[in-house]
Amino acid sequence: MPDSVQYTLLRTTKALRAFAPQWTALWQQDQDATPFQRPEWLLPWWHQFHGSELRAVTITKDGTLLGFLPFYLYQEPRTRERQLLPLGVGTTDYLNGVFAPDCMVSQIRRGIEMVCAEDGWDTLYASDLPLHSKLAQALESLAEPEERFASEGCSRMAAVPIAALPQKIRRNAMYYRNRARRQGSLELTVADASSWAESFDALVRLHTERWGQNGENGVLADPRVLAWHREVLPLLEQNGCLRLCTLRLEGEIIAVLYALVDPPSRPSRTQYFYLTAYSIHHADLRPGTLLLALAIEHAANEGVATIDMLRGDEAYKQLWHLERAPTRGFALRRSSIGKMAGVAA
């Protein structure tokens, strides 16, 4: 009986955009997919950061979409190495494919083999994969021991009211909230379609001031990064995945949190704290700490179970009693997988 599984290579931006509705429907089936795997996040990313060629694979069985592997080809400027990378690399804390519940690891492996059968690449890099990822399992079956590595990993905690935060954080949050209220009205707001642009502009301004204080630029100094986020934000807001929170003192924005959130349909929702910034002119009120505490409480009230503060080992994170969420990475050399059927070393 012939194999009813079909593997299709998407090579162009036009094909990727046309695939978006099916991509969204598949994402909704995948309980492990984060908002970072949504087309609203990755299509604008591809628009701003695209490499030389798209090499994304769709996996279909009997007309039903089972999986999507969003790879592309990129040539590293310094070494000239030709790399196969997942869309979103470098700016996204969790990378992955998108899979239906009944998509098998063996089918994903075959999709990877299809990507690898193409010419013009030297190394397939895939980092920041969750440990339970089916894509990680498929790559594990292909990688030699020296081609596997631990990624930086992320950090998580339960979404709880301020009263249930770790003692030191709780005391600080309550102290600085009371101190701020003595200076005027204090309000946490969540941006909607009419206010996301104002909130994002404030984020850029505060982030730039904070990094400029140390003579550095920060990630938001890159025009492509700014253009990408300005394209992403309204799309995420329309689909209910955006939580762009501002902390206002007497109407003035003194801190901003850019976060993404799982939809209410998920049995155990996570909110991902992607980027924060605070006013250096109000540093004595600890606006960053206060914003995070209020945003965590807001998330808990909204039914979110987990807060993921994503990558990075910044000193402030140590105070929040976070649990590590390890991720995995792979660097498969073309020569090491040349033994696979259809792959020329």
What is the DSSP secondary-structure string of 216-249?
---GGGSHHHHHHHHHHHHHHHHTT-EEEEEEEE
SS3 96: coil
pLDDT above 90 (res 165): yes
On the question of pLDDT at 9 being above 80, the answer is yes
Whether residues 205 and 227 fall in one domain: yes
Q: Are residues 84 and 182 in the same domain?
A: no
269-317, pLDDT tens digit by residue?
Answer: 999 999 999 999 999 999 999 999 999 999 999 999 999 999 977 777 7
Same-domain check for residues 130 and 247: no
Query: pLDDT band for position 21 (50/70/90)?
Result: very high
Considering the domain architecture, whether residues 68 and 167 belong to the same structural domain is answered as no
- Range with the lowest mean pLDDT among 43-47, 112-116, 126-130, 212-216? 212-216
Poorest-pLDDT segment among 139-143, 177-181, 213-217:
213-217
* pLDDT average, residue stretch 75-80: 93
Q: Mean pLDDT, to the nearest integer, of 17-31?
A: 97
DSSP class of residue 335 equals G
Residue 249 has pLDDT above 60, yes or no: yes
Report pLDDT for 338.
56
Task: Work out the angle at residue 219's Cα, subtended by the Cα atoms of residues 45 and 135, and round it to the nearest 5 degrees.
Answer: 45
pLDDT reading at 172 higher than 50:
yes
Residue 51 has pLDDT above 90, yes or no: no
The answer on 142 and 167 residing in a single domain is: no
Residues 133 and 65 in one domain: yes
Verdict on whether the full-model pTM lies above 0.85:
yes
- Domain assignment present for residue 344? The answer is no
Query: From CA 329, how far away is CA 146, in angstroms rounded?
Result: 11
Task: Tell me 322's DSSP state.
Answer: P
133 lies in the same domain as 196: no
| Together in a domain, 314 and 253 | yes
Q: Is 321 contained in some domain? A: yes
306: containing domain: 155-325
List the CATH number of the domain containing 34: 3.40.630.30
Domain count, the chain: 2
Say whether pLDDT at 246 is over 50. yes
In angstroms, rounded to a whole number, what is the distance separating the alpha carbons of residues 171 and 169? 6
Tell me, yes or no, whether 148 and 161 share the same domain: no
168 found inside a domain: yes
Is pLDDT at 2 greater than 70 in this prediction? no
| Pairing outcome for strands 270-278 and 306-310 | parallel
Answer yes or no: is 164 within a domain. yes
- Alpha-carbon separation of residue 198 from 7, 202, 234 (angstroms): 43, 6, 12
- DSSP 8-state class, residue 276: E
- In this structure, the answer to whether residues 9 and 147 fall within a common structural domain is yes
User: pLDDT at position 3, please?
Assistant: 61
Query: Residue 344: its pLDDT value, please?
Result: 40
| Within-domain flag for 69 | yes
What's the rounded Cα separation, in Å, for the pair 36 and 70?
Answer: 12
Render pLDDT for 180-234 as a digit per residue (tens, 0 to 9).
Answer: 999 999 999 999 999 999 999 999 999 999 988 888 888 899 999 999 999 999 9
Say if residues 128 and 92 touch (Cβ distance below 8 Å). Answer: yes
* pLDDT tens digits along 108-118: 999 999 999 99
Do 141 and 217 belong to one domain?
A: no
- Of the pLDDT bands very low, low, confident and very high (cuts 50, 70, 90), residue 52 is confident
- Is residue 345, in this structure, part of any structural domain at all? no
| Residue 219: how many other CB atoms lie within 10 Å | 13
> Is 343 domain-assigned?
no
- Whether 119 has a pLDDT exceeding 70, the answer reads yes
Q: What is the mean pLDDT of residues 160-166?
A: 95
* Residue 342 located in a structural domain: no
Burial of 195 (0-12, 13-18, 19+ CB in 10 A): middle
What is the chain's mean pLDDT, rounded? Answer: 93
109 and 218 in a single domain? The answer is no
